[in-house]
Amino acid sequence: MTVRTTRQRAVTALTATMCALLVAGLAACGSDGDSAGAEGGDGDVSLRIAWSGSDERNTRTQDALDLYMEQNPNVDISVEYTTATNFWDRLTTQVAGGNAPDIIQMSGQVLSQYATSDVLLDLGPYVDDGTIDIEGWEEEPLEAQTIDGTLYGIPPGLDGHALVYDATKLQELGIEPPSETWTWSEFADLAREIAAAGGEGYYGTEDGGPQYEVLQSFLNQRGKQLFDGNELGFEAADVEELWQFWGDLREDGAAVPADLQTAQGANPENSGVVQGYAAMDFTTSSQYTNFVGLSPGEVGMATYPFGDDGAPGQVWRAGMAWSVTRTSANADEAAKLIDFLVNDSEAGALLQTTRGVPASPTIREEVLGTVDETEQRSFEHLETVQAHDAQVTPVLPTGFGDFNDLYQRLYYEYAFGRMTLEDAVGQLMSEAPGLLG
Amino acid sequence: MSVATRDRVESPPERPRRAGGRRFRISENVAGYLFLSPWLVGLFVIVIGPMIASLYLSFTEYNPLTSPSWIGLDNYVRLFTDDPRYIASLKVTLIYVVVSVPLQLAFALLLAMVLDKGLRGLSFYRSVYYLPSLLGSSVAIAILWRRVFSGDGLVNSFLGAFGIEGRSWISEPATAVYTLVALSVWTFGAPMVIFLAGLRQIPDMYYEAASVDGAGRVRRFFSITVPLLTPVIFFNLILQMIGAFQAFTPAFVVSDGTGGPVDSTLFYTLYLYQEGFASFRMGYASAMAWVLFVVIALFTALNFAASKYWVFYGDER
């Protein structure tokens, strides 16, 4: 009997311990989501803000947010930042779980998807009542965040399509760098000239074929658009002409071959200009400082080539925007914070060009005075692009990501010689419409 | 519930003297279940719950930003009738499974045989050879792999020494998937350790007897080692096959998440991920997940059925 009681007691004790552990575990799980906001007294506001990007963007944004919290002691901001790869998976999951952050760094590539899925809040009222001040801003970047008359985001920064080139190499080869209003023919000649002078294994340019930005400029030069609402804005003949252009350059060894090209990925560090096997690459002005920082030699920045008839077809963008989610409990405070991030002088000084050239003209002017020569080039480049009757990338349709994947995949099918030009373009034209809208 | 039911069966109520013991046994069972509870909670909350949810979602059109809407079997129909990329990803995955698993097992067995020779410092070598298995599915190794097989990578430098001009193995559609096969073969450590344990179980006297009868190395390998090792081979085969069907990280990292070049490394799970997270078709992705589940179950069942003909358990006959 005594033995049994002892065992019984032991069992009871163990049971209690397990209960305690279990309860503690569950409690820990439950409190995970709102730890930042739980503390503090009445009137306190907690905001969650999420973005992706480089370390420098992270530190500088954190500094700006710290400043805001200093100025507004009642506001408590918790930040969530990740690399670009993980950002959207995480955000999608959070939205699906009803746990979205208050403020999101939206991307133009998925804005439609999020806006039409009723995830984002109409920021129009905050602009109307002056919470977010867009006095004196260019209109186009804001239009690029507007769907059916509803403003879904405030762009923090701008950039322009740009072509970067290895200036040291060109000098070495005794070749003149491109002019501001050069054309695709001049570009092709230059690429061939460089390849001929550069010797075995050196190419004039990275292949612009798989990049939709190149198609976009190319179409603009023909008075067309990538998209007309949710429909394609181009015909098979347009793409065939463009892909043929790149196919010829590849054949002549002027553009990098397909297997080199696919290895490069999307990052400047993998670009032929940085790696030293190609003289030119297509990018945006906001990447320019990265190219400069990564390259052993000097890097120059030029415009995308003009059409052979002189049509500029230049493009600038507000590629990202601060958006507020509909589920935000503190939307008013979120709008105030966005205004601070895009319009406050001190914030501007901290954030600098980590999201492109500041969208607010006032802040742009202020920041321009404080940055180094390399950064100033991206300001100048934006002005150059704007001066040439440029277009702002409009709102991209839902399904743009799928379109872009398809476009690249079919280009490579063609580039690897696994499909003929006609077949690849034919498949693009038949499959792409189903992906949009 | 099950606690009480089981208890009733085990202790019939017509024996009143056991009443105290019965209560005791209940509380003992409760303790047992409580000990199990972290695992049970995990099983239901993060395995079975989501599985049921995904089964439901597979019959819906579900953009994760909004709510799902029921579309019946449409997702499943589309998989097999209207999605060439899906068929392509199925092919790539099957090639990967069929090529990488036998190669990896052969390699693991070979090294296990070498290590079984009673080498000095065996535990050291065992650890060293096991290391790749620990690292193999990591992001760092996948990035390293990209370098090793790239145009100016290690493999080509090595080939260059023999005057062979290589190409960029990883960005050439015809060879890309085989670089991933190589990666999988390289992570032979886990099956190797299991093979080693299996080899240790084979009594030396069989070999001695065979040697006396004049059997050579090859004969001994095929007549003694292999038959006696078949249960272990079978076990490794099942395990590695299931793992290979679900391979994700290497393809994801090596191709930058695209499955490229031109879908040549579009593993099943990678395509599933793309559809669910990049293309916002979570319902479709769920259907893919369930088809994969069935495919793996089928292959496993086939293997078990076939095992009757080649796996030899010592206690039979």
Count of Cβ atoms closer than 10 Å to residue B170 Cβ = 28
Instruction: Tell me, yes or no, whether A388 lies in a domain.
Output: no
pLDDT single digits (tens) A235-294: 999 999 999 999 999 999 999 998 887 766 667 888 899 989 999 999 999 999 999 999
Q: How far apart are CA B84 and CA B70, in angstroms?
A: 24
pLDDT for the residue numbered B315 = 64
Chain A residues whose C-beta sits inside 8 Å of any chain B C-beta:
4, 7-8, 11-12, 14-15, 18-19, 21-22, 25-26, 85, 88-89, 92-93, 95-96, 113-114, 117-119, 258-263, 265-266, 399, 401-402, 405, 408-409, 412-413, 416, 418
Sorting pLDDT into bands at 50, 70 and 90, what band is A43?
A: low
Domain that holds residue B279: 83-310
pLDDT for the residue numbered B4 = 43
pLDDT single digits (tens) A107-144: 999 999 999 999 999 999 999 999 999 999 999 999 99
pLDDT single digits (tens) A4-13: 455 555 555 5
Q: Are residues A271 and A223 in the same domain?
A: yes
Decide if A180 contacts A163 (C-beta within 8 A).
no
CB–CB contact B168 A412 (8 Å): no
Q: Are residues A289 and A430 in the same domain?
A: yes
Strands A299-302, A45-52: pairing kind = unpaired
Instruction: Tell me, yes or no, whether B229 lies in a domain.
Output: yes
Q: How far apart are CA B306 and CA B173, in angstroms?
A: 34
Residue B50, chain A, CB below 8 Å: the answer is: no
Residue carrying the six token digits 């960005």: B171
Q: How far apart are CA B78 and CA B194, in angstroms?
A: 41
Best mutation target, A110, A259, A428, to test chain B (most B CBs within 10 A): A259
Q: Are residues A151 and A209 in the same domain?
A: no
Domain count, chain B: 2
Residue among B95, B179, B172, B167 at smallest CA distance from A418: B172
Give me the half-sphere count of Cα atoms (radius 13 Å) on the Cβ side of residue A197. Answer: 16
Residue B256, chain A, CB below 8 Å: the answer is: yes
Q: Among all residues of chain A, which has the CA nearest to that of B261?
A: A262
- Would you say how long chain A is, in residues? 437
Instruction: Tell me, yes or no, whether A419 lies in a domain.
Output: yes
Contacts of B271 in chain A (CB under 8 A): none
Residue B41, chain A, CB below 8 Å: the answer is: yes
Q: Are residues B194 and B299 in the same domain?
A: yes
Domain that holds residue A300: 159-317+394-435
Q: B261: domain CATH number?
A: 1.10.3720.10
pLDDT for the residue numbered A5 = 53
ipTM confidence: 0.80
Contacts of B143 in chain A (CB under 8 A): none
Q: Among all residues of chain A, which has the CA nearest to that of B167?
A: A259
Contacts of A409 in chain B (CB under 8 A): 260, 262-263
CB–CB contact B28 A412 (8 Å): no
Residue carrying the six token digits 């209940």: B26
Q: Are residues A147 and A166 in the same domain?
A: no
**Is the pLDDT at B217 greater than 90, yes or no?**
no
Residue A29, burial from CB neighbour count under 10 angstroms (0-12, 13-18, 19+) = exposed
Q: How far apart are CA B77 and CA B83, in angstroms?
A: 10
Q: Are residues B107 and B25 in the same domain?
A: no
Q: Are residues B40 and B112 in the same domain?
A: no
pLDDT for the residue numbered B24 = 63
Q: Where are the extended beta strands (E) located within A275-401?
A: 278-284, 299-302, 315-317, 320-324, 357-358, 391-392
Q: A77: domain CATH number?
A: 3.40.190.10
Q: How far apart are CA A277 and CA A268, in angstroms?
A: 13
Instruction: Tell me, yes or no, whether B76 lies in a domain.
Output: no
Q: Are residues A401 and A305 in the same domain?
A: yes
**Is the pLDDT at B137 greater than 80, yes or no?**
no
Q: How far is A20 from chain B (nearest CA, A)?
A: 10
pLDDT single digits (tens) B187-202: 888 899 899 999 988 8
Q: Are residues B177 and B260 in the same domain?
A: yes
pLDDT single digits (tens) B246-274: 999 888 888 878 887 888 999 999 999 99
pLDDT for the residue numbered A35 = 38
Domain count, chain A: 2
Instruction: Tell me, yes or no, whether A367 lies in a domain.
Output: no
pLDDT for the residue numbered A7 = 55
pLDDT for the residue numbered B270 = 95
pLDDT single digits (tens) A295-347: 999 999 999 999 999 999 999 999 899 999 999 999 999 999 999 999 999 99
Instruction: Look up the pTM and report it.
Output: 0.84
Q: Are residues A283 and A406 in the same domain?
A: yes
Residue among A126, A187, A36, A81 at smallest CA distance from A333: A126
Decide if A280 contacts A191 (C-beta within 8 A).
yes
